[in-house]
Homo-oligomer: A and B are copies of this chain.
């Protein structure tokens, strides 16, 4: 076995498929985001970011940055240990209380990332409850899939957002077996939204727990930013709500909110929680400031909705195909990995517009896309520039258009 040769050959395969990922080296300009500076070898280029998950620009909000500066001054850099061994700081405790309150739950538990929160919480619930069957939406995020896989519990995949299929599968399972239905509210790549109420109804009927991933919804939906479940008055019906501090809240980290017992159970048995260094106090303090701000302010959410609607209108007028959905995510469909990367590269080099191409395995082959996330920090001038650039490229590249909305 020649290890490095093997690695090279697998990487060459990715190149051949057009699926090799090149990371764009960015320096966000605090206060001017979505503006950033790209470093590309010796060259530097001003770019506007259109594919960030800092959906509301909270990553540059003065309250968030002030809280981070203050915590660094008070407590220093890192937490210095796992939560159990010297790593629980008062900032963690306050943030967990803030998150429990956000979701109307008794308790919340922080993880180092949203990925780890899904992997550790689902992995622990499914493996530590003997005989647990996990009913997993077919389009669940990789972190949920890996957590369920890791648990080695029985997994039943139901068709994406399909209540009939979910019910048939619940009905076919042992009525006495513990059950957990795992799904998301806003799906990241298509931007569609789950029928949460109906899933909770099924969970009640079949005595299943529900685990809802709201990472693309917290901060963004509901009168206090509690997510789709808050908007629809359903938070009390969910067993676990999982969220992130790294998208709309603009910082980093993940969490679950649930009953005191469930949270204590995951806290006590989840390897991925127990054996890892706690987040720095400055991260916890910054995230708490962000959550607090978005509980009280709708200005960011309102302006985001406006910008999303404005971009959809422009795309419709130009006949540029995008998936219709009820969320803030605008997937512009290209359907070919090489073309998708070419458009992205050209947007960056000619127009200073950065939209990462989304290729396999993040989305199925043949559905390659540009995933655009308009935010309240994008101006109308930014919108004009983007629409004009897309118009130019669609003309140049002879990519299929939708029937013109105006015709």
Contacts and interface: CB of A to CB of B under 8 A. Distances in A.
B246 A68 contact: no
A25 interface: yes
A91 B27 CA distance: 8
B59 A78 contact: yes
A43 to B, nearest CB: 13
A163 interface: no
A236 B196 CA distance: 54
A54 B80 contact: yes
Contact of A86 (B51, B80, B280): B51
A81 interface: yes
Contacts of A60: 76-77
A85 interface: yes
Contacts of A8: 261
A209 B4 CA distance: 10
Contacts of A113: 112-113, 116, 276-277
Interface in A213-235: none
Contact of A115 (B26, B29, B114, B276): B276
A209 B3 contact: yes
A247 B358 CA distance: 35
Interface stretch (A264-272, A297-305, A306-314): A264-272
Interface in A91-141: 91, 93, 112-116, 119, 128-129, 141
A187 interface: no
Could you say how many copies of this chain the assembly holds? 2
Interface in A159-186: 176-179
B89 A28 contact: yes
Contacts of A247: 277
Interface residues of A, number: 110
Contacts of A269: 10
B116 A26 contact: no
A115 B84 contact: no
A320 interface: no
A30 B80 contact: no
A73 interface: yes
A72 B81 contact: no
Contacts of A73: 30, 65
Interface stretch (A142-150, A321-329, A335-343, A379-387): A142-150
A61 to B, nearest CB: 8
A279 B245 CA distance: 12
A180 to B, nearest CB: 9
B28 A252 contact: no
B114 A116 contact: no
A11 B76 contact: no
Contacts of A65: 72-73, 76-77
Contact of A28 (B58, B76, B150, B272): B76
A249 B30 CA distance: 26
Given A59-B76, A112-B252, 10 more contacts: A3-B129, A11-B264, A24-B88, A25-B93, A27-B91, A28-B281, A69-B72, A112-B112, A116-B276, A142-B274
13 contacts: A3-B209, A10-B265, A14-B268, A25-B88, A28-B76, A52-B80, A59-B77, A72-B72, A77-B286, A79-B252, A114-B276, A115-B275, A244-B277
